[in-house]
Structure 1
């Protein structure tokens, strides 16, 4: 069933990183690199390296047999090493003696997973950068687009659409910074042998581990981390947090697409956002995909946190709980990012409807502005009391707040008609919105500039 929903719920690029063959290839890449590292250290013959590398191809393995054998063995690495050894023996019987030399199953599985995670983070980082560029352009375009700010799902005060988008952009920039901060230390080789001492390699264990890390392009961990799962949690919690930020963005966007609001619309077209029975529907399907991911990721992240309580030097069941959980987290995050990029690229922003919605309450949205101006003369509490009474009167009489204010002698004696007219215009009560937008745009510009510099570096 999951394959049927991949294109809707999971990112294509990230999902490919955790395919059946990719999972097997990650472990096989570990085995090939291990042979090379041990040959570097003089622990196995150099002649054994090429046959092992040649046999380490996922496409040549009997995956159905691996699946069945894993149920009896307790993990995939044990039957994989057996199949790999047989394939190497068919090429070079002597080389087959050195397959998986000094390693344990968790070394192959964890390091293989880290290799998959590295690729997934590359994909997620690229999509995150792309979404940041898209949102930066939208923030610039709408920095002066006035709209209703809503609290408790009710009209509150005027804001700008640029400010609303800048909040999401700021969160994405933090996610990008977080990824850059922990990515390299987390992507490290796992190599500890049976109990984390590499005793089977004598005094050469640390040298082999360092060489293994070099061959795989990973960091060399200070200690084997069979029982210490904070790295796995770091990756998963980052993906869950990013997906949650995207979920907030999707929730807001979906509510802006409601018929009664109509300020934003997702792209429409044949087969997109339609209904099986109502021809007129234009459903926010991109928002739905993001929100589905955001609803699932907290529980998946919680599974990783609960699995940190590993038993002694090798976890019983807790380690196993990570195998499907972390890939699913990353795939859902990839799907949410992909859906967000498509959403922003193709959406319609109705600025005229935003302006119309500002006037729905007939000026009530500007009551705070009037209160603050009055408060300078009569004090805030008294000003609040008077304006609140007049707001109720405006609602009861179905009149514009400005008209009611002008007729009140206590207020008209303090504020001129011209001042009242200005105070009840939304574009004149945006506070520091432009300052906040400018700050986020400066951060986005700096991030974009630094990423371009890195891409140009050798």
Structure 2
């Protein structure tokens, strides 16, 4: 018995993310964002930071020697993981391996671990946001089509979960559209204007980076330009607003996806049956059910996001020039934020592109509640046109 217990303990001592990804990844790692924030993607982003630094500080042949080997697939992720646990940073093991593979001792000289982690996270986020923005834009396009197609389709509005007055399904979809467009625009703004390179050296004064402040600024600017990131006024070691702004923008987009999915869940109820989720799933106990899988999954992924945003906000008060614990807490939190928001939006895209609208049922439900002499049905066309015009102008 003792032997069996020991064996079981060893088998379960180390969590296996790969196992979780296999079983539930198709739900919670939906779409292409998950690959953009994988371990390999994060390592590649940090390697790209080291290459940008090498090109800004080393002779061209040395820099290209670094670039030639700075490929994530060449590095042992398990070994890097062990070193990350040993030092509470993934950079020390990575730099040692990069120096060994390139034969260049100048790798990383003048930088600190936080420079590489922060800039790597910003670069990884930039790449992930490009993918995420594609899904958000496609979801918005699908919503615009619903708004245009159903501009005169009557539907019973519900307020406080109770029947209210007539409106149009096109206007409901137009409301979704404006919310998606605005949330997507903010995410694009963050990607282009907030995500910045972090180049400060050991304590943020760039003392080891170059001989004087102007030279250090030029190196920092060169690294930012190489990576396509913002060149900030100062190093932002202790100023966590950029990471928090990214988290907040992701939270708003995830919340927008959740709201639309919640509306679909309610409209798809059997007693209502005004829409059908084109991604329908079954029940293990009730063969007659067609569960709105895409809407449910979008909500499930989005539900994880607010707590992650709160974590990012809660660690903004880091101590002095580098936080002890708060900074480290950002790393996986931010990756999971991107992954969960990306999955929610990927599911939302599928939902909206396949959504089936039952206009006769909408009319029947409206009449059943308000009667044939229902309140006058307002012309929602002008409002829908405003939403569509704004969408086309983006």
**What's the TM-score, normalizing by structure 2?**
0.91
Distance 1:306 1:214 in 2: 31
Between 1 and 2, higher relative CO (CA 8 Å, sep ≥ 6) is seen in 2
Are the counterparts in 2 of residues 35 and 49 from structure 1 also a CA contact under 8 Å?
Answer: yes
Q: 1:170 to 1:362 in 2, by over 3 A?
A: closer
Q: Which runs of 4+ in 1 moved over 6 A?
A: none
What's the offset of the Cα at 1:187? 2.2
| Aligned residue in 2 for 1:10 | 29
Secondary structure (helix, strand or coil) at the match of 1:219 reads: coil
Q: Which moved more, 1:308-317 or 1:275-284?
A: 275-284
Looking at structure 2, the residues matched to 107 and 207 of structure 1 have their Cα atoms a distance apart, in angstroms, of 16
Give the number of aligned pairs. Answer: 372
Show the 5 A alignment for 1:188-203: 188-200=196-208, 201-203=210-212
What secondary structure sits across from 1:228 in the alignment? Answer: coil
Q: Distance in 2 between matches of 1:362 and 1:28?
A: 64
- The equivalent of 1:23 in structure 2 is 42
**CA distance in structure 2 between the aligned counterparts of 1:57 and 1:49, rounded to whole angstroms:** 14
> For structure 1, which runs of at least 5 residues remain unmatched after alignment?
40-44, 90-95, 364-420, 448-458
For 1:362 and 1:253, locate their aligned partners in 2 and report how far apart those are by CA, in whole Å: 22
SS in 1 for 2:157: strand
Provide the rounded CA distance (Å) in 1 between the counterparts of 2:306 and 2:370: 41
Determine the structure 1 residue equivalent to 2:156. 148
**Structure 2 contact 44–72 (Cα < 8 Å) conserved:** yes
2:382 paired with 1:429: no
Contact 1:106 1:226 in 2 (8 A): yes
Per the normalisation by structure 1, the TM-score is 0.79
| 1:83 is aligned to 2:97 | yes
SS, match of residue 270 in structure 2: coil
Greater Rg over alpha carbons, structure: 1
SS state of the match for residue 156, structure 1? strand
Once residues 200 and 339 of structure 2 are traced to their aligned partners in structure 1, the CA distance between those partners, rounded to angstroms, is: 29
- Whether contact under 8 Å (1:11, 1:333) holds in the other structure is no
Is 1:61–1:83's contact at 8 Å kept on the other side of the alignment?
yes
1:246 Cα offset (Å): 1.0
Deviation digits for residues 220-247 of structure 1 (CA, Å, limit 9, x no counterpart)? 1111111111111111111111110111
2:113 — aligned with what?
105
Shift of 1:362: 5.0
SS of the equivalent of 1:159 reads strand
Aligned residue in 1 for 2:242: 231
Secondary structure in 1 aligned to 2:305? Answer: helix
Quote the Cα distance in structure 2 between the aligned partners of 1:46 and 1:254.
58
Of the candidates 39, 50, 54, which is equivalent to residue 64 of structure 2?
50
Q: Does 1:314 align with 2:322?
A: yes
Once residues 350 and 190 of structure 2 are traced to their aligned partners in structure 1, the CA distance between those partners, rounded to angstroms, is 28
Partner SS state of residue 220, structure 1: coil
Tell me which residue corresponds to 2:6: none
Alpha-carbon displacement from aligned partner over 1:279-307 (angstroms, at most 9, x marks no partner)? 22100111111111222111110000001
Matches within 5 A, 1:374-389: none
What are the equivalent positions in structure 2 for 1:167-206 lying under 5 Å apart?
167-200=175-208, 201-203=210-212, 204-206=215-217
Which residue of 2 is the match for residue 267 of structure 1?
Answer: 278
Q: Deviations over 1:28-52 (max 9, x none)?
A: 111111010113xxxxx33311221
Partners of 1:425 and 1:196 lie apart in 2 by 67
- For 1:299 and 1:433, the matched residues in 2 are separated by 37
Counterparts of 2:110 and 2:79, CA distance in 1? 25
One of 55, 66, 71 as aligned partner of 2:80: 66
Cα deviations across residues 327-382 of structure 1 (Å, max 9, x unaligned)? 1111111111111111122221111111110122353xxxxxxxxxxxxxxxxxxx
| Per-residue Cα deviation, 1:241-288 (whole angstroms, up to 9, x for no partner) | 1110111111111011111000001125xxx41112222210011111
Which 5+ residue runs of structure 2 have no aligned equivalent? 1-18
- CA-based RMSD: 1.5
